[in-house]
């Protein structure tokens, strides 16, 4: 389920980037191509459609992000990483201390 939500988030991000790049804040962009007022989707309708699409995609992205954060495994489920397992399986360093000589050897002069 988590992978499906991540795929939806990625698709939503690409669509949002595309819709934002189509828009031009100075009145150009895709809406500038429809300069005639007697067309079915004129300048104003194209700008309204792109703005509504931007808001819808932004809201979808926010909802999907929130849903993915609530979809993580709970405390009852055990999801340990490989690193954590390796740390737990390490030998105890205190028990593996090498045996050092108990007395300092005295030098012999010849």
pLDDT digits (tens, 9 = 90+) for 83-101: 788 788 877 777 766 677 6
Enclosing H/E stretch for 83:
helix 82-88
C-alpha angle 29-14-34 in degrees, rounded to nearest 5:
20
Q: Per the structure, how many domains does the chain have?
A: 1
- Domain span at residue 43? 1-27+39-72
* Domain presence at residue 90: no
Asked if the structure places residue 49 within a domain, the reply is yes
Residue 23 belongs to a domain:
yes
pLDDT top residue among 94 and 55 = 55
Number of H helices, E strands in the chain: 3, 0
Is residue 63 in some structural domain? yes
Q: Is residue 51 in some structural domain?
A: yes
Q: How many residues does the chain have?
A: 110
Q: Identify whether 84 is part of a domain.
A: no
Residue with tokens 């100075």: 26
Higher-confidence position of 107 and 96? 107
Cβ neighbors of 72 (< 8 A, separation 6 or more) are: 2
Q: How confident is the model at residue 64 (pLDDT cuts 50, 70, 90)?
A: very high
Phi first, then psi: give them for residue 95, nearest 5 degrees: -80, -20
Q: Is the pTM of this model over 0.75?
A: no
Q: Is residue 96 part of a domain?
A: no
Of 39, 49, 44, nearest to 19 by C-alpha is: 49
């Amino acid at each position: 389920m988590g992978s499906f939500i991540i795929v939806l988030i990625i698709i939503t991000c690409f669509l949002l980037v595309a819709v934002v790049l189509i828009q031009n804040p100075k009145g150009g962009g895709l809406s500038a191509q429809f300069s005639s007022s007697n067309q079915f989707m004129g300048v104003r309708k194209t700008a309204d459609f792109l703005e509504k699409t931007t808001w819808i995609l932004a809201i979808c992205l926010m909802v999907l992000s929130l849903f993915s954060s609530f979809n993580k495994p709970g405390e009852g489920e055990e999801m340990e990483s490989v690193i954590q397992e390796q740390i737990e399986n390490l030998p105890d360093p205190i028990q593996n201390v090498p045996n050092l000589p108990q007395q300092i050897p005295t030098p012999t002069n010849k």
